[in-house]
Amino acid sequence: MKTVALPGGERVPGLGLGTWIMGEHGAHDPAAVAALARGIELGMTLIDTAEMYGNGGAEELVGQAIAGCRNRVFVVSKVLPSNASRAGVAAACERSLKRLRIDRIDLYLLHWSGSVKLAETVAGFTALQRAGKIRYWGVSNLDLDEMEEIWALPDGNGCAANQVLYNLGRRGIEWDLLPALAKRGIPVMAYSPLEQGGLLSRRALRDVAAAHGATPAQVAIAWLLQRPGVIVIPKAAELAHVAENRAALDLVLTPSDLAALDRAFPPPQRKVPLAML
């Protein structure tokens, strides 16, 4: 398993399990729980979820999947901006802990910025750390200007990750956000690495995949895995998809492959707004 260092030095899996669009029908989804459990068995022991996903249903599914193996799993969850006041984030964290059936979240993220001042959210995160409710805190969907606002805060250097939309077709963060995070040793968590399947029909991906006897999805994930400081969190609610994603770790793209992908998916030539899904 590729690992990625957090700012404090702890290393976490570079390939994890996403749960976006899971739990939409509540906490009864044995297939999804089985897929998450299989991912853990295969070494993808970082699981990303959020209170928003399935209105808490995804967190409940994660809680079922990690029962009995909590000490092997790095749990990431996210708080909605509407709950991100100092008091609100504490209450939201308690609700997430209950659904996850754990006593501490490993990494707790602000899902995106809203009307609550970032300083207040960071103060809430810091209080949760001191209370032992979370180990690390971070953000999601924040561009460089908001990251600079975070870093200017008294406790802003505690930010441990930024989860953003990043894939071959969405490379805008490479212009300024990714280098700024890398300079501070803050990893990117890349969500929607397949653009919800939208990348898979692209000819360049299919050609590289054919040359390696792989799938386009594996190529798209492998491309991200070969980038330093990037954690990839594809969703997989079926056993076959979990196995397919795990196999991307064994795919090594050559310089020729990377050049072909750069031609098909060019890096940014200017600043572009941060993309979200």
Q: End-to-end alpha-carbon separation of the chain, Å?
A: 28
Other CB atoms within 10 Å distance of the CB of residue 125: 29
In this structure, what token pair is assigned to residue 38? 């299989």
- At residue 11, the 3 state secondary structure works out as strand
- Using a 10 angstrom Cβ sphere, with 0-12 exposed, 13-18 middle and 19 or more buried, the burial of residue 195 is middle
Q: How far apart are CA 256 and CA 277, in angstroms?
A: 31
Instruction: Indicate the Cα dihedral angle 10, 182, 192, 120, nearest 10°.
Output: 80
Whether residue 53 lies in the annotated active site: yes
Q: How far apart are CA 113 and CA 116, in angstroms?
A: 8
Q: Which of 53, 108, 136, 166 is catalytic?
A: 53
Catalytic positions, please?
53
